[in-house]
Amino acid sequence: MEVHGGTLKAPRSDLFCGESGTTLRFMTALCSLIEGECTLTGGPSLSKRPVEPLLEALRQIGVDSESKGGYPPIKVKGRGRIGDSDVHIRGDISSQFVSALLLIAPLSNGMRINLTTPLESKPYVKMTMDALRTFGVTVQASNDMLSYLIKKQAYRPVNMMVEGDWSSAANILAAGTLAGKVTVENLSPKSGQADTAIIDILKTLGARIQMAGRRISVEKSDLRAIEVDLSNSPDIFTVTASLCATASGVSVLRGLRRLRYKESDRVAAMMEGLQKMGVNVKQEEDVLKIEGCRPKGDTIDPHNDHRIAMAFSVLGLVSEGETTILDAGCVSKSYPRFWEDMEIIGADIKRSEND
The pLDDT confidence band at residue 113, using thresholds 50, 70 and 90, is very high
Please write the tens of the pLDDT for every residue from 28-80. 999 999 988 999 999 888 888 889 999 999 999 989 999 989 899 999 998 77
Q: Do domains 15-149 and 166-344 have the same CATH topology?
A: yes
User: Quick one: pLDDT at residue 201?
Assistant: 97
pLDDT at 168 over 80: yes
Q: How far apart are CA 314 and CA 172, in angstroms?
A: 8
Tell if the pTM clears 0.85, that is, is over it.
no
Beta strand 280-284 with 299-300: parallel, antiparallel or unpaired?
unpaired
Please write the tens of the pLDDT for every residue from 132-141. 999 999 999 9
Closest CA to 57 of 28, 23, 20, 19: 28
The CA-atom distances, in angstroms, between 266 and each of 24, 309, 323 are: 20, 11, 19
Burial of 263 (0-12, 13-18, 19+ CB in 10 A): buried
Sheet with 71-79: list strands edge to edge.
Answer: 15-16, 35-41, 71-79, 64-68
pLDDT at 259 over 90: no
The pLDDT confidence band at residue 85, using thresholds 50, 70 and 90, is confident
User: Quick one: pLDDT at residue 263?
Assistant: 62
User: Quick one: pLDDT at residue 82?
Assistant: 82
Q: What residue spans define the domains of the chain? A: 15-149, 166-344
Burial of 69 (0-12, 13-18, 19+ CB in 10 A): exposed
CATH code: domain 15-149 is: 3.65.10.10
Of the two residues 272 and 353, the one the predictor is more confident about is 272
Q: Are 258 and 120 in contact (CB under 8 A)?
A: yes
Please write the tens of the pLDDT for every residue from 184-224. 999 998 898 999 999 999 999 999 999 999 999 999 999 99
Q: Domain 166-344: what homologous superfamily? A: Enolpyruvate transferase domain (3.65.10.10)
Sheet with 111-115: list strands edge to edge.
Answer: 85-89, 111-115, 147-150, 140-141
Q: How far apart are CA 118 and CA 213, in angstroms?
A: 35
Percent of the residues in the chain that have a pLDDT greater than 70, as a whole number? 98
User: Quick one: pLDDT at residue 354?
Assistant: 60
> Both ends of the chain: CA-CA distance in Å?
29
Known catalytic membership, residue 301: no
CA atoms 152, 155, 160, 165: torsion sign: positive
- Active-site residue, selected from the candidate residues 84, 144, 222, 235: 235
Q: Are 243 and 237 in contact (CB under 8 A)?
A: no
User: Quick one: pLDDT at residue 52?
Assistant: 93
Q: How far apart are CA 217 and CA 255, in angstroms?
A: 28
